[in-house]
Structure 1
Amino acid sequence: MTEAPSVDREYDPWSPEFVADPYPVFARLRAERPVFYHEPTDQWVITRHADVDALLRDRRLGRSYLHVATHEEFGREPEPEFLKPFWDLIRAGMLDVEPPTHTRLRRLVSKAFTARMVEGLRPMIRGLAEELVGALAAKGGGDLISEVAEPLPVTVIAEMLGVPASDRHLLRPWSADICGMYELNPSPEAQRVAVRAAVEFSDYLRGLARERRAAPRDDLISALAQVVDEGDRLTEDELVGTCVLLLNAGHEATVNATGNAWWALFRNPGELERLRADHSLVPSAVEELLRYDTPAPMFERWVLEDIEVRGVAIPRGAEVALQFASANRDPDVFPDPDRLDLGRAPNPHITFGLGIHYCLGAPLARIELAESFGALLRLAPRMRLVEEPKWKPGFVLRGLQALHVEV
């Protein structure tokens, strides 16, 4: 009699079938192997909400280990020299650093990137969303991803930073190329492309930052260039790294969130009709759609000290893969988790993370999603799907290639 394969073998983040619908595998993993070592990625995979929640807050783990050890001391291969421009740029921002550097950067950036400033962008975001949706509706439909979901957050970030309109076409390719490095085991070509984009984007922003230091305007680059806290300020490298982070994090995930959300609504016509009948559901609908089909389904952490998760020992030097998408479907936290419920409350999803690395741009993402949803409900109230979409190959940033609709 042939032994049934272990469920952990079904976890395959490179498989198109898994990327398209990872949730049945996650359900089995939560029940049978909530913590396991995955040899192809050299990661410990964590799938239950309670464990992901706890590890995101656990300071024995970090986005980086370089504040406590060299690559060699941590049992890792040194990074190739050709990747240095990429990592210099990324580590000048706050995403891949730990305290005390992270604490200092977040404090300084938060003085410029305030809740009041973000809320002040709402009228601009609403007007832009209506303009994009109006154009889609005027021609009877098109690709919701390329015509609404992509240009909205890119334009918002560009407007917020103060990037001239004539240069904004550069941002999306740079961001996409840089984010290719966040996929699992990126190819040598993807790495070279990311380095080239990092150099070009960094050089561009450095020039813009110097202009704004000399002649400030009413934009975020100027604010970041001028911010001072107890005599401390951002270096030029840190300012550039912060701007790159805001663009990448603020638009890649939002594009995927929009496409994933509408694909979920088209697959759940009863909930779509409920939303069309009651636009006041938009805020809770945004939260539920972020839970239901998480646009950034996995985040990694390095184990800085030996830990134990559900009786499984995970040693210092290991990497854990925290499965946000699985945690957001955990029945211990979300009743009937595979059901889309636009009025779900409470809804403690962890799509924006937890702990010190909680997404700084979460308020902006929520406004962008709410305003794009509102514009589509008002201006394209009977929007319908033309064909079933295909998923992009990546799993770490999970989204659709296109979403063709008729209006």
Structure 2
Amino acid sequence: MRFDPWNPDFVAQPYGVYHWLRENEPVSFFEPTGQWLVARHQDVNAALRDRRLGRSYLHVASHEEFGREPEPDFQEPFWRMTRAGMLDVEPPVHTRLRRLVSRAFTPRMVEELRPRVRRIAGELVTGFVERGGGDLLAEVAEPLPVTVIAEMLGVPESDRHLLRPWSADICGMYELAPSLEAQHTAVRAATEFSDYLRALAAERRARPGDDLISALAQVVDEGDRLSEDELIGTCVLLLNAGHEATVNVTGNGWWSLLRNPGELERLRGDLSLLPSAVEELMRYDTPLQMFERWVLEDITIGGVDIPKGVEVALLFGSANRDPEVFAEPDRLDVGRKDNPHISFGAGIHFCLGAPLARVELVESFGALLRTAPKIELAEEPVWKPNYVIRGLESLKITTT
């Protein structure tokens, strides 16, 4: 089997193909998408930090100047929302946005959230165990980050059921060659979510509260502040990036532990390993398998010349199993000490929400390990068809 992101068998188990790519074609051209695949950790890590590559090219050229077709008009609400956040922009816009957002979304703020995260995780897990188990994704993994982010942003409890569907629909646009239906669905979700946040932000500007939207609406740095579109783009990014990653690390991670019962028991016997276990689970079965960059100048990666104007696809899942960097990379080791995984990216686009994701994951895994003495798989899980943001449809388990 070769690299085939639309093949369910490949999506379910891509690691053998990654091994072949690293050994034989570490930088290769993938004709169906016109992208260059980059498979080795050293090359992926360097590319993430190289300013000759960018998440966007629109700061240096128009679509036409870059040899690309302009986006269809119906996608305008999606790209307006997305490019108002920091994920798909480059310096100096990215630098300014990250500086402003970092003044409100601080490590101290995240650490102060830990007791609330622990409480929410504990309540979700207690109910789950009292029911004897169920779908861990639907009943614990998904509600936890949505509830945390909703509380953090100040979204009223009565509206929180809207967030998960919006997030899932918007993220559908980031898959490889999304269908026309998926594109329209993402645009609709972006429009609805933007309209909702616009009204909420206006309310918080008039009557500030103790929440992140209020803080973002008021943050000022040397007279500079976020525009309304930038505030909305930032909030959408915090939900989508934080939510999708945390859900899939939880599902992929528990599935990995259940397939490695020795490591599960090792972790259960020593909960001080939780921080290293979370890092290892992110490495072992990476939720974000691919991250793309545009080539802004002619560049050489792994000895291969790549011209300006094309896209490189950085294979995070492959880089995180590279034996040049990780000892016994195909073995799950919850106590792994040397673990420079790149699941959160690197360089200027390193995930701003990484500290919050780590808090949520440590508290979630810890709560279930403490509350359920026995955890067993109820039925074999099935992978979603998505490759870029890779996770399970459900994870049904029993607890006692």
Q: TM-score, normalised by structure 1?
A: 0.97
Q: 1:185 offset after TM fit, Å?
A: 0.4
Equivalent of residue 130 in structure 1, options 122, 127, 131: 122
> Residue in 2 aligned with 1:209?
201
Instruction: Give the structure 2 partner of residue 4 of structure 1.
Output: none
Distance 1:296 1:203 in 2: 28
Whole-angstrom CA distance in 2 between matches of 1:174 and 1:281: 35
Q: In the alignment, does 2:59 pair up with 1:67?
A: yes
User: Paired residue for 1:404?
Assistant: 396
Distance in 2, matches of 1:54 and 1:200, equals 38
Query: Which amino acid in structure 2 is aligned with residue 227 of structure 1?
Result: V
1:80 counterpart residue number: 72
Which amino acid is 2:227 matched to? T
Q: Distance in 1 between matches of 2:327 and 2:294?
A: 31
CA displacement at 1:156 relative to structure 2? 0.4
- Counterpart code for 1:383: I
AA matched with 1:229: D
Correspondence list, 1:191-230, <5 A? 191-230=183-222
Distance 2:302 2:177 in 1: 28
| 2:258 aligned with 1:266 | yes
TM-align CA RMSD: 0.6
Shift of 1:310: 2.2
Give yes or no for the alignment of 1:330 onto 2:322.
Answer: yes
Specify the alignment match of 2:241 in structure 1.
249
Alignment pair present for 1:374 and 2:357: no
Pick aligned residue for 1:364 from 333, 347, 356 = 356
> In structure 2, what is the equivalent of residue 31 of structure 1?
23
Q: 2:44 aligns with which of 40, 47, 52?
A: 52
Q: State the 1:387 CA deviation.
A: 1.1
For 2:331, the equivalent position in structure 1 comes to: 339
Q: Which of 210, 231, 236 is 1:239 aligned to?
A: 231
Question: Partners in 2 of 1:47 and 1:27 — Cα distance?
Answer: 9
Q: 1:168 aligns with which of 157, 160, 174?
A: 160
CA shift digits 1:294-349 (9 cap, x unpaired): 00011000000000112211000010000011000000000110000111111100
Helix, strand or coil for the counterpart of 1:406?
strand
Q: SS at 2:314's partner residue? A: strand
Alignment equivalent of 1:13, drawn from 5, 19, 28 = 5
1:398 match: secondary structure: coil
Q: 1:226-275 CA deviation, whole Å, 9 max, x = no partner?
A: 00000000000000000000000010111001000000000101000101
Secondary structure in 1 matching 2:313 = strand
Runs of 4+ residues deviating >2 angstroms? none
Q: Distance in 2 between matches of 1:256 and 1:54?
A: 26
Supply the distance in 2 between the matched residues of 1:171 and 1:339 (Cα, whole angstroms): 36
- Letter aligned with residue 388 of structure 1: E
2:175 and 2:302 mapped to 1: Cα distance?
Answer: 27
- Any idea what the Cα deviations from partners look like across 1:67-101, whole Å, max 9, x if unmatched? 00000100111100000000000000000000000
- The question of 1:119 aligning with 2:111 is answered yes
Say whether 1:317 aligns with 2:335.
no
- Cα deviation, 1:88-138, whole Å, max 9, x if unaligned, reads 000000000000000000000000000000011100110110111111111
1:351 corresponds to which of 340, 343, 352: 343
Between the aligned residues of both structures, percent identity stands at 74
1:179 correspondence with 2:188: no
Q: Which amino acid in the other structure matches residue 203 of structure 1? A: D
Q: Give the letter aligned to residue 295 of structure 2.
A: V
Q: Secondary structure at the match of 1:264?
A: helix
Q: In the aligned structure 1, how far is the partner of 2:48 from the partner of 2:198? A: 33
User: Where does the alignment leave 5 or more consecutive residues of structure 2 unmatched?
Assistant: none
Q: Which of 251, 267, 271 in structure 2 is aligned with 1:275?
A: 267
In 1: Cα distance, 2:365 partner to 2:257 partner: 11
Partners of 1:310 and 1:239 in 2: CA distance: 39
**TM-score, structure 2 as length reference:** 0.99
2:102 to 103, 110, 127: 110
Answer yes or no: is 1:389 the counterpart of 2:389: no
CA distance in 2, matches of 1:380, 1:107: 42
- Name the CA distance, whole Å, in 2 between partners of 1:118 and 1:171: 20
